[in-house]
Structure 1
């Protein structure tokens, strides 16, 4: 079984794409008209694209150092705001930020953190010359098979770049909790085969148009291999989520619209007579909220959201993370030993 690990400080390795060109024989009238010449041209073009994107975007990717470790970040605007993962900043409020074109760290302070989506914004205390904000893509248009470059500072190796493709979109991923991780459940994540290693957290996952399609966040690990990284399975928070949350943190210092679906309940994991998790028990229902309007009551045990089985509070959270506020979903529940269903129009998760 495959588990997940945050791309927090300290793992090994980075790889980069390389291209080889073929030489045509002396009898070829034009290298570009031969199969080998075509391959060479295509390889050289891809290499040129990689180098162009790296030149465009890498100056916008920074290294962030705290008292407990390091990670990466992306220059968000020309005011010195830098977006990163909440698990990179942890409980710190001051940071040392190193730009790609400098070896001298710059001071930065925390703007705000939103652990529920594992995102945070920090701000440089003084603006250096030539600060270059990154361009963010519309991540709803990301497609399977797109070439991606992951940029960051794995193992403190600043300005490292790895390459891969978009392996999947719309993944709902629950981060491991503890060790500075908020244990967030995040929907619509981009899965990539580009290596995302510890220290890459908060860095940029970029397309060949030099636009950030996501923030590198975590990689899969293989428990049966003593937690070794599972090659080619990494996840990035989509750009649309990043910009939506970052804009609120910068403007208000908090998130007022999470963009996450909610039932409007307080719940806990329900255990059956064999002490096995068997659903999410409703503890309280928000008056006038989605669950209340659909007739759910305290004491009900939710066992399914749509076609997704619910066996615990965590699985309920995961099921809701893949849905959007305003969508309608059938909720299956038990009440007094009898099963029932109700249609709920999902609300928006309120933030503290």
Structure 2
């Protein structure tokens, strides 16, 4: 399965079950019919429904549909100047797009400002800003908690302004877009059970305060099912990273501070005599980069980063995703059949 929600169908279901246990109840007793839990349930459901509708009215107008010659996806209005943030894999290699906003009767034209595949984020800008364009309110990723009710908004299967519901299943996930998307490894992702379908990429994951807490980006694949979608497991880039990257693109036209750690090498996975992944071979070393300063050179085979075993390029990317530029760590590597170690001050990607 392609890891991107543009090509994957994720299904999730949530249900609320209200149980009433009538202790000592007999056929002649009617007192439990008005038990507080039962009487309060309809009002609680009504309140929750009203809150859903309030949030949808507040946040959905900031979610747009993006159509390129190859892809269909979603985006979130970043500001009142026509900037829209979305996934890099939605824009792909395209430079121009058609965008349908909540206030436009006909698709509007937009152009790419900058794409940053390393974080699977991009910003496009409307050629003409329609009246009533509403910028989204981005929330604080640090306050996102497991169990929070969230709504996913976007254009699944081309059905614009669609909404699905779920919870935050986990935070701080590190996932790789292997086999789909941009191929990036993304840290601190928000995991959600809200159904994310093809076309939801680049849309909004919204909390009950109406704040965007993430950008739905990819879904999990289940190897036991032939890498088809794993139901109810989707991932969103946290709002903090979205704001960091989008702000740089809008202000400077590019990303100047990624916050992503790097060794400053190009590399490839190597296999052992049993054709099993056995490490990452250094193909080239960036002059003046972290690896170069630590003494690594072409031909070295990296087997550990800190206390994490490295067997593939993906495992190296995942390990680096958990670190920060400027952080010191130990690289364990093989050179001419001998194991060596070097202390590395990580650079920035």
If the length of structure 2 is used for normalisation, what is the TM-score?
A: 0.88
In the superposition, relative to structure 1, how do residues 143 and 255 fare at CA in structure 2: closer, same or farther (>3 Å)?
same
Q: Which residue in 1 is equivalent to 2:319?
A: 319
Query: What secondary structure does 2:64 align onto?
Result: strand
Paired residues of 1:63 and 1:70 also in contact (CA < 8 A): yes
1:186-265 equivalence runs, <5 A: 186-265=186-265
Alignment partner, residue 53 of structure 1: 55
CA contact (8 A) 1:167 1:193 kept: yes
Which region of structure 1 is more displaced relative to structure 2, 40-49 or 106-115? Answer: 40-49
Q: How far off its partner does 1:91 sit?
A: 1.7
CA distance in 2 between partners of 1:330 and 1:61 (Å)? 44
Is 1:147 the counterpart of 2:149 in the alignment? yes
Aligned to 1:170: 172
Do the aligned partners of residues 300 and 119 (structure 1) sit closer, same or farther apart at CA in structure 2, a change above 3 Å counting? same
Per-residue deviation, 1:305:
1.5
**Partner Cα distance (2:337, 2:84) in 1:** 52
| In structure 2, distance between residues paired with 1:45 and 1:69 | 38
Q: Which residue of 1 aligns with 2:24?
A: none
Shift of residue 78, structure 1, vs aligned partner = 0.4
Separation (CA, whole Å) in 2 of partners of 1:17 and 1:273? 51
- What are the equivalent positions in structure 2 for 1:52-91 lying under 5 Å apart? 52-91=54-93
Q: Taking structure 1 as reference, are residues 275 and 227 closer, same or farther at Cα in structure 2, changes over 3 Å only?
A: closer
Q: C-alpha offsets along residues 260-299 of structure 1, whole Å, 9 cap, x if unaligned?
A: 0011223222233444321112233334432233343333
The residue number in structure 1 matching 2:115 is 113
Structure 1: gaps of 5 or more residues:
none
Q: Distance in 2 between matches of 1:12 and 1:229?
A: 6
Summarize deviations over 1:150-180 as a string: whole Å, max 9, x none: 11111111111111111111111111345xx
Q: What is the deviation of 1:246?
A: 1.1
1:10, CA displacement in angstroms?
7.4
Per the TM alignment, residue 111 of structure 1 is displaced from its structure 2 partner at its CA by 1.1
Please state how far the C-alpha of 1:99 moved relative to its aligned partner. Answer: 1.5
Gaps of 5+ in 2: 21-29
Equivalent pair of 1:11/1:154 in contact (CA under 8 Å)? no
1:42/1:330 Cα in 2 relative to 1: closer, same or farther (>3 Å)? farther
In 2, Cα distance between equivalents of 1:261 and 1:105: 39
1:21-78 Cα distance to aligned partner (Å, 9 max, x none): x9xxxx88x97x8111232333222222211111110000011111223110000000
3-state secondary structure, aligned to 2:3: strand
Q: Which residue of 2 aligns with 1:129?
A: 131
Q: Which residue of 1 aligns with 2:23?
A: none
Q: CA deviation at 1:226?
A: 4.6
Given that 1:285 and 1:297 are in contact with CA atoms closer than 8 Å, whether structure 2 keeps it comes out as yes
Structure-2 separation of matches of 1:183 and 1:290: 23
TM-score by length of 1: 0.88
Cα distance, 1:125–1:287 mapped onto 2, change above 3 Å: closer
Structure 2 distance, partners of 1:12, 1:326, is 38
Aligned-pair CA distance for 1:303: 0.5
How far does residue 13 in structure 1 lie from its aligned partner after superposition?
6.9
Pairing 1:291-302 to 2, within 5 Å after superposition = 291-302=291-302
**Aligned counterpart, 1:6:** 4
Structure 1 CA distance for aligned equivalents of residues 43 and 207 of structure 2? 21
Residue 108 of structure 1 and its aligned partner are, at CA, apart by 1.1
Could you say if the C-alpha distance between residues 55 and 310 of structure 1 is closer, same or farther in structure 2, counting changes exceeding 3 Å? same
SS in 2 for 1:316: helix
- Secondary structure at the aligned position of 2:79 is classed as coil
- The alignment of Structure 1 onto Structure 2 pairs a total of residues equal to 340
Matched, 1:341 2:341: yes
